[in-house]
Structure 1
Amino acid sequence: MSKAKKALARGSTQGRTWWVVLVTLLVLAACAGSAQARFSRSDDSSLPSNTYAIKSGGLVRTYRLYVPASYSGKPVPLLVALHPALSDGAGMEKLTRFDNLADRYGVIVAYPDGVARMWNADRCCGRPMKENIDDVGFINDMVAKIESNYAIDTTRKYVAGFSNGAFLAHHIACVEPDAFTAYAVTGGAITDANCPDTQPTPILLIHGTRDPRSPWDGGTTEGVYRPPVVDLARRLARRNHCSDTTTVSYASAPAVCKTFGGCGSNEVTYCALDGVGHQWAGAPAVMPLFLGPSTDRFSTTDQMWSFFQRHQRRTQYNH
């Protein structure tokens, strides 16, 4: 067979494979939407253990909550973990293992559920974007509910996001930069059509250099442009009034992290994970043939918490 015919055959096979994956994901999303509808008609007693329901934006929204056994009523940090598309709070809990971190450091962790397993991050994604679902309002309402039931240190409220959850984290930082103390994201960029660069917000970016969904060097996926990671980091550094110079703040293969200087507590750090795809590094790879490899030599969970520990707001934020 000629090289041209072999290439054509490979392309045809890859095309069929991607169609199978696409159809599978669409079926999962449809099923997830049905599950979300069932949750919306449930009361708290019918929800799974540690899952709660609140009314927000005219909808009944759900979230999982992990409270460590060490909680004694004294103020503790709050971490909100935003799942990727086609996942949910339970999936994010299993993927990140933030519960283990919560046990070690006395943190309360919230794992909210997106409608149809997606989030509205302005120009992304899916049903929440099309129906203009107010996910920022939902996160605010969820945090307010948690604060009404538990003693939360409002100077230490953090957001961690992956993929579509990273887009939402960026979106929250765009529209309500005071809502949280610091943000850490992996596999996602700012997708807002208009994001004012006015208020400094500490942020950590973790990104695989072989990410096909949000390419390291930038690109358009599903009609939405993702800027190169370095360009995004520089933009955020300008917002935080950092200098143009960076220093290597972490270097252990496959990761190299660089931190911008001159911005004090308003830290901007970005980490390149060489050869890693669209994955939560430190966790087993999900669909590696299509999303790229993961690594067990770098823990996104631990690095995010190390970043959060460096940041505490001087003044409290009130809803």
Structure 2
Amino acid sequence: MSHTRPTGLLSGMDEVARLTRAGRLSEATSLVQRLLRGEGAAATAPPPDPTILEGEFERLDAAPRPEARRGAPDSDAPGRGRPAGKGAGSRFGTAARTGLGETLRGLAARLRPAGLPGGGPGAPRPAAEPLPDGASFVTESFSGTAGTRAYKLYVPANRGDGPRPLVVMLHGCTQSPDDFAAGTRMNAFAERHGVFVAYPEQPASANAQRCWNWFKPEDQRRGQGEPDLLAGITRRILRDHPVDPSRVYIAGLSAGGAAAAIMGEAYPDLYAAVGVHSGLPAGAAHDLPSALAAMRQGGRGEAGKAGAGHPVPTIVFHGDRDTVVHPQNGDRVAARATAAAAGLVPEVRHGEAAGRRSFSRTLHTDPSGRTLCEQWAIYGAGHAWAGGSPSGSYTDPQGPDATAEMMRFFLEHRLRSASA
């Protein structure tokens, strides 16, 4: 899948920057929407398309969290080289307009081929690791009442005896299954443990930036929209391959992380554990404006909606200098994952591997010793998969190894009563 930026888009973004500098923010916003639909700068603006450009927006608060000072300086740290967005909590008035202008300026810069710090999709990358003999990584397709989605399935050579676990991986905006697999190195860990891995693909026809539509009400509920498609893919693999229904997991990055959080709550009878990396809590938004607010300020999620029957074990990773999805979202994912459980005892551990970023790791454990939630706050890290490979986009090789830790956490959990 090509990520080359067309010349028309680049010239159009120059016009966005000009309109923004002139204070004509509504025209600049309208032009951004037209360009991302593939229309020319002079096209008549149709009604706004409620899609989110996750991975392209700046966080507006300038002050890093106090613990950020423990990490190494990061080029995407908030407040470097630009003023804070005053009144970021408001969507109206002069302060909100200032924030919009800064967002549009950042968007114009980030849509250029140079890419983002951490290696955007257009950045040159080393080749991914080859498949081991006997393994396969093939494209499949699933169709349901909500539409059709392609997905890639990794079948390990090391399958051992009996049914194997399955991990469903949801990519971030602008990414593809191959890109996400290369960056996370999940297939290599799956081979080590004899695990199947599925990578559903969000097409541009469903979202201009290939984001999972975590902010749309119709894509947040069991039996509807994208959740129905993702559950359908999972059930298809359970039907066609020797997968253990008590060891099925789902994880994602950014928009994929937000979608994984939704899936855990919508299908607690299907997924034994959830991984949310740089994502948002379920119910964080209900449309484009609330999605942008949640990304900038932290999404609270709807009260009283967590878990249909029992909480799903969740592991959370978030960089404390994430300028795309506010770090408070990681806190709120963890809070939501533990809200319905009684008697949890939190324990905070600090660590720093040689040559890597430092982190805090908070374990929420129930009286039986089962860890219901594990939250990693990574100091100095931006919006990227921790410990990932430069073979994929949006990775941070300096971080703790999120893939290894996620796989460990997953394999510690089983559904107490599995039902496909």
TM-score tier after normalising by the smaller chain length: 0.7 to 0.9
Corresponding residue to 1:203 among 314, 317, 337: 314
Which of the residues 394, 400, 403 maps onto 1:301? 403
2:351 paired with 1:251: yes
Q: Give the TM-score normalised by the residue count of structure 1.
A: 0.74
Structure 2 equivalent of residue 40 of structure 1 = none
**1:49 positional shift:** 6.4
Q: Secondary structure at the match of 1:80?
A: strand
Which residue does the alignment assign to 1:310?
412
2:392 & 2:417 partners in 1: Cα distance? Answer: 43
Q: Which residue of 2 aligns with 1:97?
A: 185
Change (3 A) 1:7 1:24: closer
Indicate conservation of the 8 Å contact 1:120/1:134, yes or no.
no
Measure, in 1, the Cα distance between the counterparts of 2:166 and 2:333. 26
Residue among 245, 254, 260 paired with 2:364: 260
User: For residues 206-232 of structure 1, what are the alpha-carbon distances to aligned partners after superposition, in whole Å with 9 as ceiling and x for unaligned?
Assistant: 11000111112x4xxxxxxxx4x3344
Partner of 1:42: none
| Per-residue Cα deviation, 1:158-216 (whole angstroms, up to 9, x for no partner) | 11111000010111122222220001111011141546134211001111000111112
Q: Greater CA deviation, 145-154 or 69-78?
A: 69-78
Task: State the AA in 1 paired with 2:256.
Answer: G
User: How has the CA–CA distance of structure 1 residues 312 and 56 changed in structure 2, closer, same or farther, with 3 Å as cutoff?
Assistant: same
The separation in 1 between residues aligned to 2:137 and 2:365, in whole angstroms, is: 45
In structure 2, do the counterparts of structure 1 residues 14 and 89 end up closer, same or farther at CA, with 3 Å as the change threshold? closer
Residues 281-311 of structure 1: CA distance to partner in whole angstroms, max 9, x if unpaired? Answer: 11257999xx8x8342411100101111211
Which residue in 2 is equivalent to 1:28?
Answer: none
Work out the number of aligned pairs and report it: 272
Deviation track 1:58-77 (CA, whole Å, cap 9, x = no partner) reads 53310000101122672000
Counterpart contact for 2:173–2:211, Cα < 8 Å: yes
Do residues 119 (structure 1) and 212 (structure 2) align? Answer: yes
Q: Report the equivalent of 1:181.
A: 272
- Residue identity in the other structure for 1:21: R
Is 2:178 the partner of 1:69?
A: no
Question: Secondary structure at 2:162's aligned position in 1?
Answer: coil
Query: Paired residue for 1:57, among 139, 145, 148?
Result: 145
Q: Alpha-carbon deviation of 1:84? A: 0.4
Gaps of 5+ in 1: 1-5, 26-31, 33-47, 219-226
Question: Cα 1:51–1:197, aligned 2, differ >3 Å: closer, same or farther?
Answer: same
Kept in 1: contact 2:139–2:150 (CA 8 A): yes
Verify: 1:275 aligned to 2:380, yes or no: yes
User: Is contact 1:281-1:300 (8 Å) kept?
Assistant: yes
Q: For each residue in 1:247-305, what CA deviation from the matched residue of structure 2 results, as whole angstroms up to 9, or x when unmatched? A: 135622512101123354351111110000000011257999xx8x8342411100101
Note if contact 1:279-1:286 (Cα within 8 Å) is conserved in structure 2.
Answer: no
Q: Cα RMSD (Å) of the superposition?
A: 3.5
In 2, the alpha carbon distance for the partners of 1:191 and 1:65 equals: 26
Whether the 8 Å contact between 1:73 and 1:150 is mirrored in structure 2 is: no
C-alpha deviation, 1:123, in angstroms? 3.7
Q: SS where residue 342 of structure 2 aligns? A: coil
1:226-245 counterparts in 2 under 5 A?
227=329, 229-243=330-344, 245=345
The CA deviation at 1:233 is 2.0
Q: What amino acid maps onto 1:54 in structure 2?
A: F
> Closer, same or farther in 2 for the Cα pair 1:297/1:176, shift >3 Å?
closer
Which amino acid is the alignment partner of residue 57 of structure 1? T
1:214 aligns with 2:297: no
Query: Aligned partners of 1:185 and 1:13: how far apart in 2?
Result: 28
Give me the whole-angstrom Cα distance separating, in 2, the residues matched to 1:188 and 1:248: 21
The one-letter amino acid of 1:261's match is T
Change in Cα spacing, 1:189 to 1:58, as seen in structure 2 (3 Å) is: closer
Greater fraction of residues in helix: 1
Amino acid at match of 2:142: I
Q: Which residue of 2 aligns with 1:162?
A: 253
- Give the alignment's TM-score, normalised by structure 2: 0.57
Residues 120, 168 of structure 1: 8 Å contact kept: yes
Provide structure 2 residue ranges, at least 5 long, that are not aligned to the other structure.
1-80, 84-97, 115-120, 122-135, 205-209, 287-301
Task: Give the SS at the match of 1:272.
Answer: strand
Cα distance in 2 for residues equivalent to 1:13 and 1:144: 44
Q: Which residue of 1 aligns with 2:168?
A: 80
**Cα 1:66–1:7 shift into 2, 3 Å:** closer
Note if contact 1:276-1:295 (Cα within 8 Å) is conserved in structure 2. Answer: no
In structure 1, give the amino acid aligned to 2:108: W
Computing the radius of gyration from Cα coordinates, the structure with the larger value is 2
